[in-house]
Structure 1
Amino acid sequence: MKIVAALLACLTATRAQHVLIGYPPEGANLTAGHTTTIEIQRPNFQSSSEEVAIVLGITSCPNTPCPAPADTMGHILHNGPFDPKEHPLTPLIQPYQNFTVELPGDLPKGNGQLNVYHVALIGESFVPFTETLTTSVFVN
């Protein structure tokens, strides 16, 4: 019974560790060859967590459905540490980190998708946690 309770606690803690794409919004227009800001939010949660990394990529798929980020991240825009902070003037906003990235100039125009790969260690025993998420964009 203790094993089942521990497993349920771990699964519950894992569900609370997800990050969100705060910006750009779904369907945003992005311009190839220009910089843009990507905001990744990490909602507050009860269990402890050690952020490891975040990978941001963009895939252009003007004529076909976009592949899942688990299959390809596309052009890598950022690969490195993730250290979300609360906003100093508005602490009620969930912790976030902004990444200013440059979109490739040769990115085909049309439908695309912004991909995120998030890695963290959660709980007292540092259980490995990974997730992928995406938002649709339009490349100009």
Structure 2
Amino acid sequence: MTDGVNWLTAEEQHAWRSFVRLHERLIGRLSHLLQTESQLASADYAVLVNLTDVPDGRQRYQDLARALEWEKSRMSHHLARMIRRGLVVREECADDGRGAFAVITEAGREAIAAAAPLHVQAVRSLFLDHLTAAELRTLAEVSVRVVGKLDEGA
């Protein structure tokens, strides 16, 4: 059953587990800070960031789901909760009766504007302040390369 498995070496396993632990703790801390300081869940923040990065603050549900690597049902349910809170609205797509756009509202823009400085400060203090400029460049290069490979397979 495990024949032919290319097991991780001790060094690879250490690097992988260290990366996973870093990711879990960092995301956990950032999520907790966002929630307590701005009443936005990390998922809310991710949606709002994506919407503020596109013209008119509008994006098709399916494109937003793809950008966040969420299933369609998760996107629909989460956007429904954000709609109830007034952070986004749903607009039907005139070109496609089955499609819809998520559009950031003024309340959504105010929420992201209030949360972003806190988030950036936390990213700096929890992560960036602990890296040298060379380490940061290497991290960016590695991240871009791995994401590129992941995108090739998508």
Q: Which has the higher contact order (CA 8 A, sep 6+)?
A: 1
Whether TM-score is above 0.5 comes out as: no
Name the structure where strand makes up a greater proportion of residues: 1
Place the TM-score, normalised by the shorter chain, in its bin.
under 0.3
**Larger radius of gyration, structure 1 or 2?**
2
